[in-house]
């Protein structure tokens, strides 16, 4: 169970998991290799996409289960549930996480396109792609932690 404080600060466990994931993304290759290829750019994007899929596969079913628990606990009909659960799954803070994610995705797309289109890929750009991918994954981890904190709070009431 992932919990956050009322201010949304990550627990030590969440910070440690985020640090491990970010470190693993950077460990996939040198930050600035002497030479890099188009395949290196594609590989970095693929690694992060896999990390994001894994986050969603791990968290989405658990979160949906918590939503079903809340629906049963409150005795909501399906329509009542849809209306009452909306603030749990979409609020200003979640919107901010989504905006940050969209910004990172845009940057990654731009850098990836530049890296794969260049005759001689710029390895500094590869490092930037890695950093943007790690930041994107971290934002998604924060978003899931925040959402789990919200649903746990509702279940505790």
Extents of the domains making up the chain: 38-156
- Taking the C-alpha atoms of residue 128 and residue 107, their distance in angstroms, rounded to an integer, is 9
- Taking the C-alpha atoms of residue 110 and residue 104, their distance in angstroms, rounded to an integer, is 10
Q: Residue 144: phi, psi to the nearest 5?
A: -60, -45
| 103: its two tokens | 């910004």
What tens-digit pLDDT sequence spans the chain (157 residues)?
443 444 444 444 444 444 444 444 444 444 444 688 878 888 887 888 888 899 999 999 999 999 999 999 999 999 999 999 999 999 999 999 999 999 998 898 888 777 777 778 788 888 898 899 999 999 999 999 999 999 999 999 9
């Amino acid at each position: 169970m992932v919990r956050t404080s009322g201010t949304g600060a990550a627990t030590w466990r969440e910070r440690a998991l985020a640090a491990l994931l970010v470190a693993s993304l950077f460990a996939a290759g040198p930050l600035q290799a002497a030479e890099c290829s188009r395949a290196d750019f594609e590989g970095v994007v693929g690694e992060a996409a896999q990390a994001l899929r894994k986050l969603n596969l791990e968290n989405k079913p658990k979160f949906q289960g918590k939503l079903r628990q809340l629906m049963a606990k409150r005795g909501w009909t399906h329509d009542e549930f849809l209306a009452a659960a909306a603030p749990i799954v979409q609020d200003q803070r979640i919107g901010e996480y989504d905006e940050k994610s969209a910004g990172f995705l845009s940057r990654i797309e731009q850098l990836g396109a530049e890296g794969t289109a260049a005759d001689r890929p710029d390895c500094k750009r590869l490092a930037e792609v890695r950093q943007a991918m790690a930041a994107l994954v971290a934002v998604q981890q924060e978003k899931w932690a925040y959402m789990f904190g919200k649903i746990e709070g509702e279940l505790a009431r």
